[in-house]
Copies of this chain bind each other. A is one copy, B any other.
């Protein structure tokens, strides 16, 4: 449990950074706006998961460390912003790290609440992508998951991979790292080579 918790807090920090950076892509926000977007991005997915699974108290309401992690992310974004020479790439990397970590965190949480494997994978994906969806909807941007890139699909593949390895008895921590890495690698490769899924309607 200890390591999962560290993964969760680390995921919260990187998602808060990605939220703070993403907000700026569109328009100049004041510090409250940035803090709000960082917060929404970091806790939105987990909140949706917990609302759907009736898991209370919500993580960020019960555990101030999650709040501190968000604040740390905001601080880091503010401090190092001017050193990020290529903002889009930086944002992409933090976001990728975030979805990789949160997919597995969310999947494990859902499993621990007793849902079936299909729902666990969906919940892992929700945990990973929904904070970003909320953030994008609030700034009137079409969410990344609906544009041409492979994004949520990477989370789903990573989640399925976790379940398969788990069924072979692979250690949870190792499985976490392996499956999370698969998500990150898929995401990075598809962005780098501009790959996309086939269109639904030909």
Contact = CB atoms under 8 A, between A and B. Distances in A.
B201 A30 contact: no
Interface stretch (A90-98, A100-108, A114-122): A114-122
A35 to B, nearest CB: 8
A38 to B, nearest CB: 10
A182 B29 CA distance: 24
A93 B197 CA distance: 29
Number of copies: 3
Interface stretch (A1-9, A143-151, A163-171, A173-181): A143-151
Given A32-B152, A36-B152, A24 B201 contact: yes
Contacts of A67: 118
B61 A30 contact: no
A133 B37 CA distance: 13
Interface of A: 20, 24, 28-34, 36, 47, 51-54, 56-58, 61, 64, 67, 78, 81, 115-116, 118-119, 133, 137-140, 142-143, 145-146, 148, 150, 152-153, 156, 196-201
